[in-house]
Structure formats: C-alpha cells, structure tokens
C-alpha cells in the first residue's frame, strides 16, 4: 500500500461544474496536508494547506480533511479551463517526511 494514494485520472469535468479530487493516506499520525497544482512542464505550486479536521475555503477552492477516515479532498467550484492541470496531494507524516501522491490529471471541458 502506498503511503499517499490518488486516482491518476484523467478526471473530466464540464466548465462551471464542481471538480472533486481525493487523496488517502496510510499514516494515521500525519499532521499536515497540502494540495499543489502542476501545469505540464512546470513546477508544482501550492493551492491549499490544511492541518485540522473539517473544511478550509479559499476562493473557489475548498480543502476537506477527515483524519478518522484518513482522507483529504480538494473541491474546485465553478471550474475553469485554466484549472486543467495535475493536482498533487502531499502529506507530512508522523516522521515529518513529506510524502507525495502520484497526482490526478484534471481536464475541464469548455
């Protein structure tokens, strides 16, 4: 079992709809959770970070964390073609290591 798992996709969502990206992790002692967006050929950029259970909203983005179920998700409302990218989930585990998921490719269809 991988420490951090994501569905590789591609996930295809119509423009204007909600895109939902999921990530599960295996280390129950994990402390910090990050969502990065990566455009093709570019380096990852931080979208959201979340540290406690519940929702955290920033503009069109909402991160959701459920430590009991060991998953973290990212919702993108009113999806735009510019949101088309690969989304990487990163988890800081109980050993303070930053573990990366393989990423989910998101395609927003106009």
Positions touching other proteins (CB under 8 A) are 8, 31-32, 34, 41-46, 49, 51, 88, 90, 92, 96-98, 100-103, 105
101: nearest Cα among 28, 35, 17: 35
Token code pair at residue 7: 């569905």
Q: Which is nearer to other proteins, 28 or 42 (CB)?
A: 42
State the minimum distance, in angstroms, from the CB of residue 67 to other proteins. Answer: 15
Closer to other proteins by Cβ: residue 1 or 110: 1
- Pick the closest to residue 98 from 21, 8, 24, 3 (CA basis): 3
**Which of residues 42 and 109 has its CB atom nearest to other proteins in the complex?**
42
Query: How far is the C-alpha of 99 from the C-alpha of 89, rounded, in Å?
Result: 8
């Amino acid at each position: 079992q991988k420490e951090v798992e994501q569905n590789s996709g591609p996930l295809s969502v119509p423009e204007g709809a909600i895109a939902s990206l999921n990530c599960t992790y295996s280390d129950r002692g994990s402390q910090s959770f990050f969502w990065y967006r990566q455009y093709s050929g570019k380096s990852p950029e931080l979208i959201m970070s979340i540290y406690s259970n519940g929702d955290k909203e920033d503009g069109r983005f909402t991160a959701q964390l459920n430590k009991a179920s060991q998953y973290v998700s990212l919702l993108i409302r009113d999806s735009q073609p510019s949101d088309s990218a690969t989304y990487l989930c990163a988890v800081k585990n109980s050993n303070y290591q930053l573990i990366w998921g393989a990423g989910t490719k998101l395609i927003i269809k106009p």
